[in-house]
C-alpha cells in the first residue's frame, strides 16, 4: 500500500469505529469541553433555534439575514451580516440534532465533491442536540419545497435525500406515537 492509501485506510477505519476527530469539529452553537466533546453554547444555540424557527415559519433566507442584522447578531465568521449561504448550510447541518455524518464529501481528481460514491457513516446521539429532530426534518422538507429545481422535479419529484428525510420523519412520528400510547 502507498502512503496515501494507508492514510485513507486509517481515516476510513476511524469513521467505521466512530473515533474520527472530524466528528468533533465545532459548528456555530457549540463549544468544546475540556475533554474535547461538543457542548452547547447557549447564547449561540438561541440564534440557531431562532433561524430554524423563522425558516419553518415561512421567513425567507433574506428575511432571516435582515432580522439578524437588525438584532446585531454577528455571523459565525464575526462579520456584521450573515449570508444566505451560511444560513442555508446551517439549516442543512445534522449536527444540530446531535448527529454527525462522516464522509459527506470526498476528494476526487483533487476536487472536493458531494459523496454519492463512498459509504457514509452516521454517529447518532454523538453530542447534545440544539433543535428537535422533528423541526430539523420539517425544515429539510420545507427547503425542498422552496428549491428552484423545477426542471429536475418534473423528472425526479423528490430526490433520494428528501425521501429519506420524509421516511425518517414518519419513523420519528411513529416512535413518538408508540411512546405516547404506552
46 or 172: which leads in pLDDT? 46
Q: What is the pLDDT of residues 70-118, one digit of tens each?
A: 999 999 999 999 999 999 999 999 999 998 877 766 677 777 666 566 6
- Give the least confident one: 42-51, 60-69, 90-99, 145-154: 145-154
Range name among 15-24, 28-37, 92-101 with the lowest pLDDT average: 15-24
Q: How far apart are CA 81 and CA 70, in angstroms?
A: 9
Distance, CA of 103 to CA of 99 (rounded, Å): 13
DSSP 179: H
CATH code for 22-181? 3.90.1750.20
pLDDT at 113: 63
**Structural Rg of the chain based on CA atoms:** 18
| Bigger pLDDT: 115 vs 176 | 115
Confidence of residue 167 (pLDDT cuts 50, 70, 90): low
Q: Determine contact, residues 28/108, Cβ cutoff 8 Å.
A: no
- Tell me the C-alpha distance between 79 and 87, whole Å: 13
Query: Residue with C-alpha cell 455571523?
Result: 75
Please give the mean pLDDT across all residues of the chain: 79
**Higher-scoring residue by pLDDT: 103, 39:** 39
The pLDDT assigned to 156 comes to 43
C-alpha cell recorded at residue 141: 422538507
Is residue 52 pLDDT above 70, yes or no? yes
pLDDT tens, 108-160?
A: 777 766 656 667 777 788 899 999 999 998 998 888 888 876 544 444 455 56
User: What is the sign, positive or negative, of the torsion defined by CA atoms of 166, 140, 130, 119?
Assistant: positive
Give me the pLDDT at residue 15, please. Answer: 65
Query: Quick one: how far is CA 171 from the chain centroid?
Result: 19
Amino acid at each position: 500500500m502507498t502512503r496515501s492509501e494507508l492514510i485513507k485506510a486509517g481515516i476510513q477505519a476511524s469513521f467505521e469505529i466512530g473515533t474520527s476527530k472530524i466528528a468533533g469539529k465545532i459548528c456555530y452553537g457549540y463549544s468544546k469541553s475540556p475533554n474535547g466533546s461538543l457542548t452547547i453554547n447557549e447564547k449561540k444555540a438561541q440564534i440557531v433555534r431562532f433561524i430554524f424557527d423563522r425558516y419553518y415559519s415561512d421567513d425567507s433566507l433574506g428575511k432571516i439575514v435582515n432580522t439578524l442584522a437588525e438584532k446585531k447578531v454577528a455571523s459565525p465568521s464575526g462579520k456584521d451580516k450573515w449570508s444566505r449561504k451560511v444560513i442555508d448550510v446551517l439549516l442543512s447541518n445534522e449536527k444540530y440534532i446531535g448527529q454527525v455524518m462522516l464522509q459527506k464529501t470526498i476528494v476526487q481528481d483533487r476536487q472536493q465533491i458531494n459523496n454519492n460514491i463512498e459509504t457514509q457513516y452516521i454517529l447518532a446521539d454523538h453530542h447534545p442536540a440544539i433543535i428537535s429532530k422533528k423541526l430539523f426534518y420539517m425544515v429539510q422538507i420545507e427547503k425542498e419545497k422552496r428549491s428552484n429545481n423545477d426542471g429536475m422535479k418534473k423528472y425526479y419529484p423528490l430526490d433520494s435525500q428528501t425521501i429519506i428525510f420524509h421516511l425518517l420523519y414518519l419513523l420519528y412520528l411513529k416512535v413518538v406515537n408508540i411512546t405516547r400510547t404506552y
